[in-house]
Amino acid sequence: MAAPRSLARAACSVLLPLLALIAAVAAAPVSAEQPCLKLVFNQYCLGGDINVLAQQSPPALRDQDGDRSALIYFEGGEKIYVLAWRGRIYKVLRRYPVASQLRYEEIYQLLRDKYGNGEDHSYFPDHARTPGLKQIAIRRGEGQAIHVWPLTEGWHIELSWTRELGLAVAYIADEIERQQAKAFQSGY
């Protein structure tokens, strides 16, 4: 009877560490190798791999132009643009269907409460001093309301209201954006 007990102990001494290793591997996150500077809108990994995102959550539209990629998602009346350079997501932008002074102020207040005052990068013609005149300048393409929250985590936020894009919030990965802008300016 001693032989079966020693055989059982030997099997346990081999199986228990093996089972522990399997459990540890199974518990490890699948995307551990994928950097994520910020999880944006609870779904998009700023700095992550755009191809992984496209596989996990197929977009409504996809566009590719050399090293640049874009995925477009629809959430209700809003559009989400996920932009990547060389496969890494550098910008996630939410475009709002209604662009008004009231909506801009509402979003600005939410961002200010969470991230602080930020910096105003807006520009308007000299005659556009009131909110109404600023709104007219935006609609004519003569001005833009832009507020930026530069953060130390390697990403920043921009709230913008422009003629071309309307009202939008963008989360931007600083280093990847710099790299793609430099490549774009140099013609590569």
pLDDT in tens, 80-123: 999 999 999 999 999 999 898 899 999 999 999 999 999 999 99
Same domain, 91 and 13: no
As for how many domains the chain has, the answer is 2
Same domain, 138 and 112: yes
Residue 181 vs residue 119, higher pLDDT: 119
Same domain, 5 and 49: no
Same domain, 13 and 75: no
**Domain boundaries, position 165:** 38-186
pLDDT band at 29 (very low <50, low <70, confident <90, very high): very low
For every residue of the chain, which 3-state class applies, written as one string?
CHHHHHHHHHHHHHHHHHHHHHHHHHHCCCCCCCCCCEEECCCEEECCEHHHHHHHCCCCEEEEECCEEEEEEEECCEEEEEEEECCEEEEEEEEECCCCHHHHHHHHHHHHHHHCCCEECCECCCCCCCHHHHHHHHHHCCCEEEEEEECCCCEEEEEEEECCCEEEEEEEEHHHHHHHHHHHHHCC
Residue 152 vs residue 143, higher pLDDT: 143
pLDDT band at 18 (very low <50, low <70, confident <90, very high): very low
Same domain, 16 and 105: no
**Predicted pLDDT at 3:** 56
With a cut of 70, say whether residue 76 has pLDDT above it: yes
Same domain, 90 and 174: yes
Residue 187 vs residue 51, higher pLDDT: 51
**Predicted pLDDT at 187:** 67
Same domain, 16 and 53: no
Same domain, 121 and 93: yes
Same domain, 71 and 100: yes
With a cut of 90, say whether residue 168 has pLDDT above it: yes
Residue 170 vs residue 21, higher pLDDT: 170
**Predicted pLDDT at 182:** 87
Same domain, 82 and 158: yes
Same domain, 57 and 124: yes
Same domain, 114 and 76: yes
pLDDT band at 33 (very low <50, low <70, confident <90, very high): low
Does the global pTM surpass 0.95?
no
